[in-house]
Structure 1
Amino acid sequence: MNLESPKVKVDKSPEDIFNFLENIKNFESLMPENISKFEVLSDDTFLFALSGMPEITLKKKEVTPPNKIVLGAAGGKIDFSLVGNINKVDEASSEVQLEFSGDFNPMMAMMIKGPIKKFIETLATSIPNSI
C-alpha cells in the first residue's frame, strides 16, 4: 500500500526543513490533536500513540540532506516506511510531501488506509506552522 500526502509549500529552504525533520523531537509538534503518547527513545527513534490505536515506534533509517528523510518501523510485526521528500521551489521556499508505504494484507490495508492517509496529511500540513 502506497499513500502520499498533498505537496505542502513551506516558506523555508530545503536545509531548514531537513534540519527540522531530522530532529525527531520535532515530530511531536506535527502530531494530530488525538495523540495520547509521544516519547523520544533515542536520537533516531521515537514512539507515539493516537487515541484508540496501538503504539508505533519509528526509527530514522535513511537521510539524504537536504532532500529526503526516511523513517521506518522499529520492530513490531508490520514493516512500513514514511518518507519525507523536500524539493526546492525557489530561494525562499520549498515543497514537502510525505509518502507512506507498507506491505499489508488486503483486509488490514482496507482498515488502515483512511486513518493513515489522514495521519500523513496532518503531519504534512503541520510542517509550515511548526518550523
Structure 2
Amino acid sequence: MHIETPKKKIAKSDKEVFDFLTDIKNFETLMPDNIDKFEVLDEKTFKFALKGMPEIILRLKEHIPNEKVVLGAASDKLPFTLTGNIEALGDNESEVGLTFEGEFNAMMAMMIKSPITNFMETLSTNMDKIS
C-alpha cells in the first residue's frame, strides 16, 4: 500500500527540518489532537497511540542529512515505513513530502487506508509547528 501527502512548504531550512525530524521526541509536536499516548523509548524509537487504535512503535531506520528521514515499524508483524523527503527551496524555506509504504493483505489495507491517510495529512499540516 502506498500513500503520499502533497508536498508542504515550510519556512525553515532543509537542515532545520532534518534536525527536527531526526530528534524523535519532536514527533509529539506533529501528532494529531486525538493522541492517547506518546512515549520516547530510546533516541531512535517512540511509541504512540491514537484514540481507538492500537499502539504503534516507530524506529528511525535511515536518514540522509537534510534530504530524507525514514521511520519504520519496530515490529515485523505489520511492516511499513514512513518517509519524509526534504527539499531545499532557499536558505529559509523547504518542502516536505510524506510517503507511507506498507505490505498488508487486502482486508487490512481497506481498514487502515483512511486512518493512515488522515494521520499523514495531520503530520504534514503540523509541519508548520517545526521550531
Structure 2 residue ranges without an equivalent (≥5): none
Moved beyond 3 Å, runs of 4+? none
| 2:44 matched residue in structure 1 | 44
Count residues in correspondence.
131
Alignment RMSD, CA only? 0.8
Q: Distance in 2 between matches of 1:127 and 1:118?
A: 14
Map 1:80-95; keep pairs closer than 5 Å: 80-95=80-95
| 1:71 matched residue in structure 2 | 71
TM value normalised by structure 1? 0.97
Structure 1 residue ranges without an equivalent (≥5): none
Q: Spell out, residue by residue over 1:1-59, the C-alpha distance to the aligned partner (whole angstroms, 9 max, x if none).
A: 00011211001110000000000000001000000000000000000000000000000
Q: Distance in 2 between matches of 1:40 and 1:92?
A: 29
Q: Quote the offset at 1:130 in angstroms.
A: 3.1
* Aligned-partner residue type, residue 41 of structure 1: L
Q: Distance in 2 between matches of 1:130 and 1:82?
A: 18
Q: Does 1:104 align with 2:104?
A: yes
Q: Distance in 2 between matches of 1:107 and 1:117?
A: 16
TM value normalised by structure 2? 0.97
| 1:117 matched residue in structure 2 | 117
Q: Distance in 2 between matches of 1:111 and 1:118?
A: 13
Query: SS at 1:52's partner residue?
Result: coil
